Amino acid sequence: MTTISRLNDVDIDAVATLVDTCKEDATKAATTWRAEVHWKGGFRSEGRIREFDPVPSDEPVALGGTDTAPNPVEQLLAALGNCLAVGVAANATARNITLRSLSIEVEGDLDLSTFLGLAPGHAGFQSITARIRVDSDAGPEEISDLVQYVSNTSPVGHTLAREIPVEVVPA
């Protein structure tokens, strides 16, 4: 019989097995992730990821959409928040910190001028701020160290914080 150790509803044994596997064979840490998006008319589309239900996308009415779903930039902010939540849960668990609650507020400043063709410049976010609230028995210094570590190791955070090659081509 296998006993699964859990803290913060994280399967500690599964994470430890992944870490050990990657230590033994560094090539196992190199992964590729995929999503496929299908246009549904207007500004509506849906992303297909593995075998999950589609993830809808739309634009607010003020941007010409029908406001039936979050828009892509909102989804990007949520992706960062979700990645940070995974990082906090995983690393709190590794540090034997019990989480009572965790919430992350993510906001970004975006100037639509370039997207709308009104001015040259950067079409993406000018800045993004994530505020992480952790309710735990851990002290403020321990939580601050945890949040800083997670910020320094977040795959989505790292992707957003540096220039990466993006190739968009007709298929």
CATH code for the domain of 92? 3.30.300.20
Q: Are residues 58 and 81 in the same domain?
A: no
HSE (CB half, 13 Å, CA atoms) of 94? 13
Structure token digits, residue 52: 């999950």
Question: Which domain-ending residue is among 16, 43, 69?
Answer: 69
pLDDT in tens, the chain (171 residues): 555 578 899 988 888 898 899 999 999 999 999 999 999 999 999 999 999 999 999 999 999 999 999 999 999 999 999 999 999 999 999 999 999 999 999 999 999 999 999 999 999 999 999 999 999 999 999 999 999 999 999 999 999 999 999 999 999
Name the amino acid, one letter, at 78. Answer: A
Q: How far apart are CA 58 and CA 41, in angstroms?
A: 10
Name the amino acid, one letter, at 89. Answer: A
- pLDDT the model gives residue 78: 98
Q: Are residues 95 and 46 in the same domain?
A: no
4, burial (CB in 10 Å: exposed 0-12, middle 13-18, buried 19+): exposed
Overall domain count for the chain: 2
Q: Are residues 135 and 101 in the same domain?
A: yes
- pLDDT the model gives residue 169: 96
Q: Are residues 87 and 149 in the same domain?
A: yes
Q: Are residues 130 and 111 in the same domain?
A: yes
| Residue-number span of the structural domain to which 134 is assigned | 71-163
Would you say residue 16 lies in a domain? no
- pLDDT the model gives residue 165: 94
Q: Are residues 65 and 86 in the same domain?
A: no
Q: Are residues 80 and 159 in the same domain?
A: yes
Would you say residue 76 lies in a domain? yes
Q: How far apart are CA 64 and CA 54, in angstroms?
A: 22
Q: Are residues 114 and 126 in the same domain?
A: yes
Q: Are residues 133 and 75 in the same domain?
A: yes
- pLDDT the model gives residue 2: 54
CA-based diameter of the chain, in Å? 65
Question: Which domain-ending residue is among 21, 47, 69?
Answer: 69
Question: Going by C-beta distance under 8 Å and a sequence separation of 6 or more, which residues neighbour residue 78?
Answer: 70, 106
Q: Are residues 158 and 84 in the same domain?
A: yes
Q: Are residues 96 and 144 in the same domain?
A: yes
Q: pTM of the entire structure?
A: 0.91
